[in-house]
Structure 1
Amino acid sequence: MKASVVLGTAPSPPPSGWRAGGRTLRLLTVAVTAGVLALLTGHAWVLALAAGPAVLVVLAAPGGSRPLRLEASLTVSTRRCFEGETVRCTVELAADGVTGPLDPVLTLGPGVELVDDLVEADRAEFEFTAVRWGRWSIGTLDLDVYDRGGLARRTVRVELGELEVFPVPSAARLTPVPVELPARLGENATRQPGEGVEVIGVRPHVWGERQRRIHWPSTTRRGAVQLNEFGAERAVDTVMLLDALGDFRDPATGTSTLDETLRAAAGLTRAYLRRHDRIGLVSIGGTLRWLRAGSGEQHFYRIVQTVLDVRKDLGYRTPELDRLPPGALPAGALVYCFTPLADQRVLDVLADLTDRGNPLVVVELPTGEPSVDPQDELAVLALRLWRADREAMRFALRNRGIPVVAHTPGESLDLALAPLLRRRIHGGRR
């Protein structure tokens, strides 16, 4: 028997105890109809048609043969997954008596889709696909358990719990670094002399100094020992600033800017963590969320879990948001702001970061141009004003020395970040 799927909110609680099933109601309908026909026609033999169904209905009354205890146990393959992955839920029924067939009714949550189901005598298996990132309720299962004859039923409700769906990170390998790096061990070389592996220059040998590596071409040319000078290896403090002030959909493709923001930030976060850098997170819009900078593979999942509830915050407004708490940003941290550049308030936040001297890069997520009728002069004029407003926001950022790169959804983030590798990223002009 296949499960019946219902979309929407969880239904009201089911009645407790045994009650008449669908077959009982059908038999009762036949018996009552035969009795009414016997009264109307005056033929007593018509009552014989009601005898069989009436006997079966009497048998459907509560009796000692039905189980008194029904318990359902739930097993979920995983509570965390990425978009597109499958999750398997298994519900097993335990009873102190003999039961009949199972009739499941499944109310699905908004973030999953039912792929396959298998219903047996005492268990039911369901396979779901996570369709969108976020923290979702899988759904509610109402398991109708019938008695041996299939005339009475009892409903057991099982809450399938929540599922954390992580966004699929965008492809990213490039990790631009700012000019000034903190004095913390890492893999990025600075211009400051140290004990790294990247050569930053050549200098004369000083008496008493350890001859680490001689630069033979310069030594032969100058007639004196010349040594390679190595840069110190430092770790980068990087903060992903997510603009969640709104969620805009491209009229042509239906792409969500909020979805692409989190996917791009997740891809860049994973790239920096692979280089053993420290990554922090700040999300503006609704509830202000931040996570202090950390490193390691587990920190990636902590970052994603921090923003899984961002979509629920879109119904709230955050007036006069122009300054982030000092604890949200390490001093001198490189900040990547992922924004559709559709809300003027994000400019106030970026201006505050520039005044602090943080190196800053703005990654623009295009929202797509509104579709207008070319014959409508007012609509065409409004589109020109819309374009001018967005260009004015880009100019205001570049005028402050903030690089603005555009990321096209579906493409590698490296294409947008590649121009930043030609030069080091400086802090904003004060």
Structure 2
Amino acid sequence: MTEPMPARRAAAAVRRALDGRHDGASQPPPPPPSGRRAGERALRWATLAVVALAAALITGRPWVLALAATPLVLLALALPSGPRPESVTAEVEVEPRRCFEGEQVTVRITLSYEGASARLDPGVALGHGVRLDHLAVGPHRVDLVLTTRRWGRWTLGTVDVDVYDPGGLARRTVRAELGDIAVFPVPDHAGLTPVPVRLPQRLGEHTAVQRGEGVEVIGVHPYVRGERQRRIHWPATTRRGTLQVHQFAAERTADTVVLLDVLADVVDPVTGTSSLDATFRAAAGLVRAYLRTHDRVGVVSIGGATRWLRPGSGHGYFYRIVESVLEVRKDRAYRTEGLTPLPPPALPEGALVYLITPLTDQRIFDVLHQVRGRANPMVVVEIPTGQPVPEPGDTVGELALRLWRADRDAMRFALLERGIAVVTHRPGETLDLALAPLLLRTRIRGGTR
């Protein structure tokens, strides 16, 4: 497949300006100090005493020494009578480790130590994918309630807990590593499931063109010995004078493979919508819709190391599919270098292929060429995000916008010339609006090798 030529350089410059793929992961905080050290209260009182003693030495007035008596007395009174907390350990419980966007995660940190403690003072350093909603501190535990903000595999972060002695003069710090969580994208609503013309020879719910043991009547035919008598079509029998029976269409399953274009993450400058977020939510909606009709669904993510999962079925398979591609976003960092060939088991013969892409990287045409070489029926779902917004009166910006649109139109034209169906799915809308035009064509035909 040839790549469209118009405005390639100017559009590529605009895409690089909008591309957020170099957003790196946050660095972990430095390790906490080890052993026992002075607390804030002891440091304040000791500072007051030292300042008073220094003032007495500088001024030569003995009565100034009396100012140091008060903090020294307070230090003496605050000395703990019992043993200080020793051997502090922390145990972390996170529930759940797998959730959807917007759901809450509960973290409980249980502290164990020898001796007495006056209070706990936690310091929370969270990752990018969660937000702290509630923090509660008890005698031996710290409870946090977090809300997940975006899909991906996120590092929750760390909590450094200062354990003070009963007088508050000394403290020990223990670090609790909260670990990782898997946040699934919220699937876009999808109820339509277009199917290809040729279906594999497996029992399912889609009506096939060939005869079989289904429930949809496609005609009548003369009675053959051994057929069920309750299927006799009496009006046709009366007209023709011979026994006529119902002819049914076979019911088959469909193989569907969803290709995800993760070569770039384009952020819309107006709405702030991420093309990567919209891609995965649309893919999750497609996967869930086809699994509900008991079809076999697979997934392939294109970008960096190609991740794929061969088609399977069942409600539990949805989570396997989503988890197989969550590594694309790990703490806001993902790799997009290189492009590897698609493995043959990832694209079964005759499987319907959905490619969800923002149409921003020319390398995706290499993938389309591989799919078309295998004669698989294919649908390209475009995510129209990232259109630049020039300033009023900015002639250079308006020219760049025209070139950007021309590049998009050229890519769509190249796809349509090859007989590939192209639909547009706008973030926030239901997938059924995008897939409805495909149903007007009854079924999707495959290409030629």
**Shared fold (TM-score greater than 0.5)?**
yes
- Matched to 2:383, the amino acid is L
One-letter amino acid of the counterpart of residue 425, structure 1: I
2:444 is aligned with 1:425: yes
Question: 2:89, 2:306 → 1: CA distance?
Answer: 42
Q: Structure 2 vs 1, CA of residues 42 and 107 (structure 1 numbering), >3 Å: closer, same or farther?
A: same
Please give the secondary structure, in 2, of the residue aligned with 1:38: helix
Aligned to 1:316: 336
Alignment of 1:202-281 (within 5 A): 202-281=220-299
Deviation of the 1:213 alpha carbon:
1.4
TM-score (norm 2): 0.89
Counterpart in the other structure of 2:218 = 200
CA distance in 1, matches of 2:324, 2:85: 45
Residue equivalent to 2:198: 180
Cα displacement (A) at 1:64: 6.8
Q: Which sits farther off after the overlay, 376-385 or 267-276? A: 376-385
Change (3 A) 1:379 1:41: closer
After superposition, the C-alpha distances for 1:25-48 in whole angstroms (9 at most, x for unaligned) are 100110001101111222223222
Structure 1 pair 35/141, CA: closer, same or farther in 2 (3 Å)? same
**Residue 296 (structure 1) aligns with:** 314
Q: Deviations over 1:160-205 (max 9, x none)?
A: 1111100000001111111101111211120111112222222222
Residues 1:415 and 2:423 are matched in the alignment: no
Once structures 1 and 2 are overlaid, which stretch shifts more, 341-350 or 409-418?
Answer: 341-350
1:71 equivalent among 80, 86, 89: 89
- Paired position in structure 2 for 1:354: 372
Pick from 43, 53, 77 the counterpart of residue 25 of structure 1.
43
SS of equivalent residue, structure 2 residue 173 = strand
Return the alpha-carbon distance in structure 1 between the equivalents of residues 228 and 263 of structure 2: 56
- The offset of 1:60, in angstroms, is 7.5
Identity of aligned residues (%): 61
Within-5 A mapping of 1:351-430: 351-373=369-391, 375-422=393-440, 423-430=442-449
Quickly say closer, same or farther: Cα 1:55–1:18, change in 2 above 3 A: farther
Shift in alpha-carbon separation, 1:283–1:38, aligned structure 2, 3 A: same
The answer to whether 1:38 aligns with 2:91 is: no
Q: Distance in 2 between matches of 1:26 and 1:413?
A: 62
1:330 aligns with 2:348: yes
Deviations 1:57-84 (A, max 9, x none): 4678899711222222212121011000
Q: Is the 8 A contact 1:186 1:276 kept in 2?
A: yes
Amino acid at match of 1:317: E
- Do the aligned partners of residues 43 and 382 (structure 1) sit closer, same or farther apart at CA in structure 2, a change above 3 Å counting? closer
Q: Which residue of 2 aligns with 1:3?
A: none
Residues 193 and 416 of structure 1: CA distance in aligned 2, closer, same or farther (over 3 Å): same
Aligned counterpart, 2:69: 51
Deviation at 1:87, TM superposition (A): 0.6
Tell whether the 8 Å contact from 1:245 to 1:314 is kept in structure 2 after alignment.
Answer: no
C-alpha distance in structure 2 between counterparts of 1:424 and 1:226, whole Å: 30
In 2: Cα distance, 1:317 partner to 1:224 partner = 69
Q: In the aligned structure 2, how far is the partner of 1:208 from the partner of 1:401?
A: 45
Q: Distance in 1 between matches of 2:271 and 2:362?
A: 25
Matches within 5 A, 1:83-94: 83-94=101-112
Secondary structure at the counterpart of residue 28 of structure 2: coil
Alpha-carbon distance in structure 2 between the residues aligned to 1:78 and 1:311: 19
2:364 match: secondary structure: helix
Contact kept, 8 Å, 1:400 with 1:429, in 2: the verdict is: no
Deviation at 1:146, TM superposition (A): 0.4
Tell me, what secondary structure is at the counterpart of 2:437?
Answer: helix
Aligned residues: 422
1:344 aligns with: 362
TM-score of the two chains, using structure 1 as the length reference: 0.93
Does the CA contact (< 8 Å) of 2:125 and 2:159 recur in 1? yes
Structure 1 contact 285–314 (Cα < 8 Å) conserved: no
Describe the superposition over 1:242-264 as per-residue Cα deviations: whole angstroms up to 9, x where unpaired: 01110111121111111010000
- Runs of 5+ unmatched residues, structure 2: 1-24
- Which one-letter code corresponds to 1:214 in the other structure? I
CA distance change for structure 1 residues 352 and 8 in 2, over 3 Å: closer, same or farther? closer
| Farther-moved stretch of structure 1 (184-193 vs 43-52) | 43-52
Distance in 1 (CA, whole Å) between partners of 2:179 and 2:156 is 6
1:144 and 2:195 equivalent?
Answer: no
Q: Greater relative contact order: 1 or 2 (C-alpha under 8 angstroms, separation 6 or more)?
A: 2
Aligned mates of 1:214, 1:250 — CA distance in 2? 61
State the 1:389 CA deviation. Answer: 1.6
SS at match of 2:203: coil
* Unaligned residue ranges in structure 1 (runs of 5+): 1-6
CA drift of 1:8 comes to 5.3
Whole-angstrom CA distance in 1 between matches of 2:346 and 2:131: 37
Alignment deviations for residues 316-371 of structure 1 (CA, whole Å, 9 cap, x no partner): 3215x5x4121221111111110111111112211221121101111111114211
Q: How does 1:106-185 map to 2 (within 5 A)?
A: 106-185=124-203
Instruction: Please give the alpha-carbon distance, in whole angstroms, between the structure 1 residues aligned to 2:36 and 2:81.
Output: 10
Is the partner of 1:353 in helix, strand or coil?
helix
Task: Output the CA distance in 1 between the equivalents of 2:424 and 2:375.
Answer: 23
Give the Cα separation in 1 of the matches to 2:127 and 2:154. Answer: 7
Q: Deviations over 1:112-136 (max 9, x none)?
A: 0000111122211110000000000
Tell me what 1:4 maps to. Answer: none
Task: Assess if the C-alpha contact under 8 Å between 2:219 and 2:248 holds in 1.
Answer: yes
Question: Per the alignment, do residues 108 and 134 of structure 1 end up closer, same or farther by CA in structure 2, a change over 3 Å counting?
Answer: same
Secondary structure of the corresponding residue to residue 132 of structure 2: strand
Deviation at 1:207, TM superposition (A): 4.0
Q: For residue 164 of structure 1, what is the amino acid of its counterpart?
A: A
* Counterpart residue number, 1:105: 123
- Which residue type is aligned with residue 394 of structure 1? R
